[in-house]
């Protein structure tokens, strides 16, 4: 027989676990995405899929407006690239297949690359227009958008741009954001996680080649977003960056099934003889549960909920599962702290 005090302790532990499970189950049921149509792309089904995705975006925008939560966003001309010869306008969402589609747009436009490795600068310099011209382009061309699971994209942006400072691009991000994140949140991070955490893998949950203590941790990166509202095109919410409730996109593709969906799009645009799915910077899409779990478990429940709220409209508009990270948090966070 267990002593009474042990029984009471066990009861409290089980009660706490049960309450946490109930909270997360409710979050998963209440806030998870609507069901995506399970249609393998073909000429007829592809059209049905696109119509379905467009209707969901419109429905969510209407809900935001009815609830008084529709945030005003300004149309930024440099966020839209247009290839006039194919009547195609694209709003690049960085870390969502943008590297590959920068190359596609350069090819479709007939621009001479001169062996330039910076396709983004080339496209931005030649395929963006003035505000009046951008409005005209949006009215008279096919509008393209490519999205990705917001949880994946946020972590991918951090790992690619701020986790290490090796390449010139990464060093630029350290200057623009990383140093300030470390300065503002490192002391608090050490108090929260302990010096040993920062001594092991320099504050990363996994070994990362080239990482030092000069770069922010994922926790520090998230604090800058949820506390200060630090923004950048690599992690800005989709619905604000591309003015989704003011610009109706004709074609919405998803990175997770991009190869199949691109094939149908190329046929629709009559460019399948010019373009093919050539993945640039494509790692695991979606990111593995192991990788996702190890990084997102460094956040507490309050921080996850604040982060979720920032990207909630994106989850709902594009039917991505908000509960995914919460489930990983519940299953493994106790092993970390």
Gap between the Cα atoms of 205 and 214, Å rounded = 16
Single out the residue of 265, 249, 263 nearest to residue 317, CA to CA: 249
The DSSP H or E segment spanning 20 is helix 4-31
Q: Give percent helix, percent strand, percent coil of the chain, each to the nearest 5.
A: 60, 5, 35
Burial of 231 (0-12, 13-18, 19+ CB in 10 A): middle
pTM for the whole structure: 0.83
Could you tell me if 255 and 285 are in contact, meaning their C-beta atoms sit under 8 angstroms apart?
A: yes
Distance in angstroms (rounded) separating the CA atoms of residues 224 and 181: 6
Residue-level pLDDT, tens digit, the chain, 337 residues: 545 444 344 444 444 444 444 444 444 444 444 555 555 555 568 889 999 999 999 999 999 988 887 777 789 999 999 999 999 999 999 989 888 899 999 989 988 776 556 888 889 999 999 999 999 999 999 999 999 999 999 999 999 999 999 999 999 999 999 999 999 999 999 999 999 999 989 999 999 999 999 999 999 999 999 999 999 999 999 999 999 999 999 999 999 989 889 989 999 888 988 887 765 554 555 678 888 889 999 999 999 999 999 999 999 999 999 888 888 877 655 444 4
Rounded-to-integer distance, Cα 272 and Cα 265, Å: 8
């Amino acid at each position: 027989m267990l002593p009474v005090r042990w029984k009471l302790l066990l009861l409290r532990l089980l009660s706490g676990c049960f309450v946490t499970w109930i909270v997360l189950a409710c979050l998963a049921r209440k806030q998870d995405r609507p069901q995506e149509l399970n249609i393998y792309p073909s000429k007829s089904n592809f059209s049905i899929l696109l119509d379905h995705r467009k209707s969901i975006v419109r429905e969510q925008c209407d809900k935001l407006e009815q609830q008084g939560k529709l945030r005003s966003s300004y149309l930024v001309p440099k966020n839209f690239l247009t290839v006039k010869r194919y009547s195609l306008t694209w709003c690049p969402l960085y870390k969502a297949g943008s590297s590959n589609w920068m190359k596609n747009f350069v090819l479709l436009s007939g621009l001479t690359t001169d062996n330039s490795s910076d396709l983004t600068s080339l496209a931005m310099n030649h395929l963006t227009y003035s505000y009046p011209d951008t409005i005209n382009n949006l009215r008279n061309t096919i509008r393209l958008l490519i999205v990705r699971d917001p949880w994946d994209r946020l972590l991918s942006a951090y790992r690619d741009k701020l986790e290490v400072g090796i390449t010139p691009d990464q060093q630029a991000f350290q200057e623009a954001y990383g140093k300030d994140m470390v300065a503002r949140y490192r002391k608090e991070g050490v108090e929260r996680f302990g010096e040993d955490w920062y001594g092991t893998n320099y504050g990363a949950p996994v070994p990362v080649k080239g990482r030092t203590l000069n770069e922010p941790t994922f926790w520090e990166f998230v604090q800058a977003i949820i506390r200060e509202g630090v923004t950048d095109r690599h992690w800005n919410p989709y619905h604000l960056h591309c003015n989704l409730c003011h610009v109706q996109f004709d074609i919405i593709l998803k990175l997770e099934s991009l190869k199949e969906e691109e094939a149908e799009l190329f046929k629709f645009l009559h460019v399948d003889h010019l373009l093919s799915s050539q993945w640039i910077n494509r790692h695991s899409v979606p990111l593995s549960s192991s990788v996702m779990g190890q990084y997102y478990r460094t956040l507490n429940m309050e921080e996850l909920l604040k982060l979720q709220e920032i990207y909630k409209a994106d989850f709902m508009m594009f039917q991505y599962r908000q509960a995914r990270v919460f489930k990983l948090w519940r299953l493994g966070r106790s092993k970390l702290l």
